[in-house]
A = this chain, B = another copy of it.
Amino acid sequence: MTRARSGARGLADGTAGPTPTVGVIGLGTMGLPMAKNVLAAGFPLVAHNRSRGPVDALVALGATAAASPDELAGLSDIVITVLPDSPDVEAVVRGGRGVAAGIRPGSMLIDMTTASPALARDIAEYFHDRDVAVLDAPVSGGETGAVSGELSIMVGGDEDAYQRALPVLAAMGKTIVLVGGAGAGQVTKAANQMVVAITIAGVSEALLMAMKAGVDPEKVRQALLGGFAQSRILDLHGGRILARDYQPGFRSALQRKDLRIAAETAKAVKSSAPTTELVLDLYGDLVARGMGELDHSALAAFLEEAS
């Protein structure tokens, strides 16, 4: 506690104070390895999760358990949330016993959930008068990147807060970019998910057509990788599609959720996004067919069944 408080003072002063205590809420596939990397980088860690298992795992490594988000916030200089979706963020931050009930002036909230840009801006506004800095900092790179500490982190918020957060973010990510003000990280992630899902749709339809036309799809993939059709998706997901290996990776149900955020964001800012809407529908149908736990490249398998 003493250490955490003096850490908070150092941060609030803008001086190079003691190492801040970091609280992490949400210890799932992404949050647990991210928290481990924060701990391994030397930051005192406080952990909270709905189920107790991953908290115990972190306590065994030297972390402190917190019984609720508000207790965690009271013990932390930097509170990080890594949750499934926007409503979870709303509940954990502003719900009963939420972060808002315990967070201290001069501290910081970093939401690393892939959530809606509108919510990110709303939360930043909400905490502005309470002297709590807020960053939205969704990630890409999947479980592999979370474990290796090589995530891409897309940050929205103030430059000052970003600089204060950077040492902690650097424990989790390799490419860390401040894209703009509040919500800009989430807009960037939404854009990322649009491009990823739509590219998967293109690669799926192309390889499926080649197969059905009796042309070796691996040769097609190789030929296309040499030209304008080149993409990381054609390389990696194209390879999975040809191997019919749909173990995630990134689950289709989450891809659908992220596309929903993207489509809603486009609509909110009156930006035409017909392809996004179509591919969102395709992933909706795929999930309805019981394929939501498969990797997002399983769109190819879904289209094959639909043919």
Interface residues of A (CB under 8 A from B): 117, 140-141, 152, 154, 175, 177, 179-180, 183-184, 187-188, 190-192, 194-199, 201-203, 205-216, 219-220, 222-224, 226-234, 236, 262, 265-266, 269-276, 278-279, 282, 303-304, 306-307
Contact = CB atoms under 8 A, between A and B. Distances in A.
Give 9 closest A-B pairs by Cβ, nearest first: A198-B202, A231-B231, A191-B206, A195-B229, A212-B269, A212-B271, A272-B307, A201-B275, A272-B303
A267 to B, nearest CB: 10
Contacts of A232: 227-231
12 contacts: A177-B226, A180-B216, A192-B223, A196-B229, A198-B198, A205-B266, A209-B262, A212-B266, A212-B269, A213-B269, A274-B278, A274-B282
Copies in the complex: 2
A237 to B, nearest CB: 8
B152 A226 contact: yes
A272 B303 CA distance: 6
A209 B152 contact: no
A92 to B, nearest CB: 25
A163 B273 CA distance: 46
Given A219-B177, A228-B140, A278-B278, A202 B209 contact: no
A272 B227 contact: no
A201 B208 CA distance: 20
A180 B215 CA distance: 6
Contacts of A279: 275
A282 B199 CA distance: 16
Contacts of A304: 272
A194 B204 CA distance: 10
A125 B303 CA distance: 31
A134 B230 CA distance: 29
A199 B230 CA distance: 10
B226 A175 contact: yes
Contact of A192 (B154, B195, B228, B306): B228
A179 B219 contact: yes
Contacts of A197: 202
Contacts of A303: 271-274
